[in-house]
């Protein structure tokens, strides 16, 4: 990736607008750009967006700036970007196949058949501005984890560099969520590795191990080395008693950020925290939080959990009314579930509430319907199916094989469901 022309553009500008995506990777990208550009003495404005749309472009055109940097979005919509502005695109989504307009400098690892998350591209760019920006590597790590690609291609080099800089440590630990910020018995109760999923059973199990839960609340990270070893051994024994296949398959890598505050030190938790801020559209708060004001963190997470709980209880209450086929569940939520949350709800359903192999969530936002799909069926490629089904209805869609999303016009939900069933049937 050659950043020379991009750096020239930055050197000529004094007032820069950063436009970035609202997910974890996009927020990390923006954080890296804001800090590195401010350090270079630039005035920086930020606009966080769910996607590139005509509406967004007209909003951007009203904002006074002499350079616009798009991060973690932009490549897919090169022909929509303003023609009369200096523009840099730092993205990793598949570029639109058009002649790149003169005013745009695009840097995208896909063009070199590499994979690197948006925040990784922004990090390399920030190093070209000034080598001192290498402390911002934490956000490149979190961005890659948020996009699920930390062990893939160029992201791996970022990870190794972060370890070398003594900003990241990777430890083997239990395959549970919430190593730092969740109470141990909650983490265990919700974990797939643990056969007991009733709260009192889990507490009793820990008591028998003499792992004291009274006094200061304890997360996995708060345990001593001996306690961790004892816990691991007893979980394996419990799995053997329950005849679970591969009883020792209970470990995963924990990515620990050594220079971040404790609340943000587990990079996986950090990435879900950023996603929560993004989905609740707390964009001012998220950058305050990233600048060290952790006061809003608990409040925003509590709000996010409440919102998920409300949506989930609506969906489970209405489960009997949803359309189902042998293998597919359709959660047609209309306005009852926020379109930012529908993907999370679909994930929760496929991971435990329904036996169906595919879950399709639909939620209204303005004049459109957002679609989120999840699958447990190896033979199904949701990326392909969603892109074709949505295209047929004049919308757009795509993503990954096991999780994909899309958008169609409001009123076309029934038609979509029929076409989707046909495609999956084939
Ligand atoms: Mn990304």
Measure the N-to-C terminal CA separation of the chain; round to a whole number of Å. 41
19 and 134 belong to one structural domain? yes
Predicted confidence at residue 189, as pLDDT, reads 87
DSSP calls for 37-53: HHHTT-EEEEEEESS--
112 and 244 both lie in a single domain: no
From ligand 1's centre to the CA of 289, what distance in Å?
20
- What is the mean pLDDT of the segment spanning 336-349? 92
From ligand 1's centre to the CA of 147, what distance in Å? 6
Q: For residue 58, how far is its CA from the centre of ligand 1 (angstroms)?
A: 23
CB crowding 154-181: b at 16 or more within 10 Å, else e = bbeebbebbeeeebbeeeebbebbbbbb
How far apart are the CA of 139 and the centre of ligand 1, in A?
A: 12
Cα(68) to centroid(ligand 1), Å: 18
What are the structure tokens assigned to 120, written together? Answer: 């990784």
> Does residue 319 register a pLDDT over 70?
yes
Whether residue 288 is contained in a domain is answered as: no
217-274 residue pLDDT tens: 789 999 999 999 999 999 999 999 999 889 999 999 999 999 999 999 999 999 999 9
**Which pLDDT tens digit goes with each residue over 356-381?**
999 999 999 989 999 999 998 888 99
Helix %, strand %, coil % of the chain (to 5): 50, 20, 35
Are 179 and 270 within 8 A, CB to CB?
no
* Domain end call among 125, 157, 189: 157
Residue 141 has pLDDT above 80, yes or no: yes
The pLDDT of residue 181 is above 80: yes
Describe the crossing of helices 267-279 and 295-317 by its angle, rounded to 10 degrees.
Answer: 70
How much distance in Å is there from the Cα of 389 to the middle of ligand 1? 24
Does 271 map to a domain? no
pLDDT of the residue at 4: 97
Q: Are 69 and 15 in contact (CB under 8 A)?
A: no
Q: Which domain holds residue 181?
A: 171-255
Distance 400 CA to ligand 1 centre (A): 13
Per-residue confidence (pLDDT) for residue 390, from 0 to 100: 95
Please give the distance, rounded to the nearest whole angstrom, from the Cα atom of residue 100 to the centre of ligand 1. Answer: 21
**Cα-based distances in Å from 373 to 144, 350, 352:** 22, 10, 15
| Rounded-to-integer distance, Cα 231 and Cα 418, Å | 49
Distance in Å, CA 48 to ligand 1 centroid: 13
Report in angstroms the alpha-carbon separations of 324 from 195, 319, 331: 30, 10, 9
- Tally of residues, the chain: 426
Range of lowest pLDDT (61-65, 125-129, 294-298)? 294-298
pLDDT tens string 86-100: 999 999 998 888 999
Q: Where does a domain end: 201, 229, 255?
A: 255
- Whether the pLDDT of residue 353 is over 90: the answer is no
Mark whether 57 and 193 lie in a shared domain. no
Instruction: Let me know if residue 303 belongs to a domain.
Output: no
pLDDT in tens, 198-224: 888 888 899 899 887 777 778 999 999
pLDDT at 197 over 80: no
Please tell me whether residues 10 and 142 are part of one structural domain.
Answer: yes
Query: Does residue 313 fall inside a structural domain?
Result: no
Residue 102 and residue 222 in one domain: no
How large a percentage of the chain has pLDDT more than 70?
Answer: 100
Residue 68 sits in the same domain as residue 149: yes
Ligand 1 mean position, distance from CA 383 (Å): 16
Q: Is 7 left (phi over 0), alpha (psi -120 to 50) or beta?
A: alpha
Q: What is the average pLDDT across 127-140? A: 98
Interval between CA 144 and ligand 1 midpoint (Å): 8
CA of 92 to the centre of ligand 1 (A): 7
Same domain for 73 and 26: yes
3-state secondary structure of 317: helix
Separation of CA 71 and ligand 1 centre (Å): 9
CA of 124 to the centre of ligand 1 (A): 15
Do 121 and 226 lie in one domain? The reply is no
Residue 133 in any domain: the answer is yes
Rounded mean pLDDT of the chain? 93
Average pLDDT of the segment spanning 161-179: 95
- Tell me the CATH number at 130: 3.90.1640.30
Angle among Cα 209, 214, 219 to the nearest 5 degrees reads 75
Same domain, 178 and 237: yes
CATH number at residue 409: 3.10.310.40
State the Cα angle at 167 between 179 and 273, rounded to 5°. 40
Distance 398 CA to ligand 1 centre (A): 14
Least confident of 49-58, 204-213, 223-232, 308-317: 204-213
Residues 105 and 194 reside in one and the same domain = no
The tally of domains found in the chain comes to 3
- Structure confidence at residue 426 as a pLDDT band (50, 70, 90): low
Over residues 48-63, the mean pLDDT reads 93
Same structural domain, 15 and 129: yes
User: What is the structure's pLDDT at 214?
Assistant: 73
> Are residues 111 and 180 both part of a single domain?
no
The pLDDT, as a whole number, for residue 212 is 74
In a domain, 385, yes or no: yes
**pLDDT digits over 103-115, tens only?**
999 999 999 999 9
């Amino acid at each position: 990736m050659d950043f020379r022309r991009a750096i020239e553009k930055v050197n000529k500008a004094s007032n820069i607008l950063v436009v970035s995506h609202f997910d974890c990777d996009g927020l990390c990208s923006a954080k890296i750009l804001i800090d590195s550009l401010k350090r270079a003495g630039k005035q920086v404005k930020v606009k966080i967006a769910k996607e590139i749309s005509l509406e967004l472009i007209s909003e951007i055109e009203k904002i006074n700036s002499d350079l616009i940097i798009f991060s973690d979005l932009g490549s897919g919509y090169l022909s929509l970007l303003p023609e009369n502005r200096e523009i840099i695109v730092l993205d990793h989504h598949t570029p639109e196949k058009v002649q790149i307009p003169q005013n745009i400098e695009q840097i995208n690892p896909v063009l070199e058949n590499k994979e690197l998350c948006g925040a990784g591209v922004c990090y390399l760019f920030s190093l070209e501005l000034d080598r001192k920006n290498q402390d911002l590597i934490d956000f490149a790590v979190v961005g890659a984890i948020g996009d699920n690609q930390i062990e893939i291609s160029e992201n791996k080099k970022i990870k190794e560099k972060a370890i070398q800089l003594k900003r990241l440590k990777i430890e083997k630990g239990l395959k549970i969520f919430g190593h730092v910020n969740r109470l141990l018995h909650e983490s265990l109760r919700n974990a797939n590795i643990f056969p007991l999923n009733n709260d009192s059973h889990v507490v009793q199990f820990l008591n028998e191990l003499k792992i004291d839960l009274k006094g200061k609340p304890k997360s996995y990270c708060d345990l001593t080395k001996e306690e961790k070893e004892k816990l691991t051994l007893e979980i394996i024994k419990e799995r053997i008693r329950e005849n679970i296949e591969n009883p020792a398959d209970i470990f995963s890598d924990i990515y620990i950020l050594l220079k971040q505050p404790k609340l943000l030190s587990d990079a996986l938790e950090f990435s879900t925290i950023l996603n929560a801020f993004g989905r609740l559209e707390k964009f001012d708060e998220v950058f305050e939080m990233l600048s060290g004001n952790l006061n809003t963190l608990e409040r925003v997470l509590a709000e996010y959990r409440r919102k998920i709980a409300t949506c989930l209880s609506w969906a489970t209450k209405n489960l009997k009314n949803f359309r189902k086929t042998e293998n597919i569940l359709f959660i047609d939520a209309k306005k009852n579930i926020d379109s930012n949350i529908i993907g999370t709800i679909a994930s929760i359903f496929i991971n435990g509430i329904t036996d169906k192999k595919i879950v399709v969530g639909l939620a209204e936002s303005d004049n459109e319907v957002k679609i989120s799909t999840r699958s447990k069926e190896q033979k199904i490629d949701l990326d392909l199916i969603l892109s074709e089904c949505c295209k047929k209805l004049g919308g757009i869609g795509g993503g990954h094989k096991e999780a994909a999303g899309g958008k169609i016009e409001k009123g076309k939900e029934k038609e979509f469901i029929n076409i989707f069933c046909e495609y999956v049937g084939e």
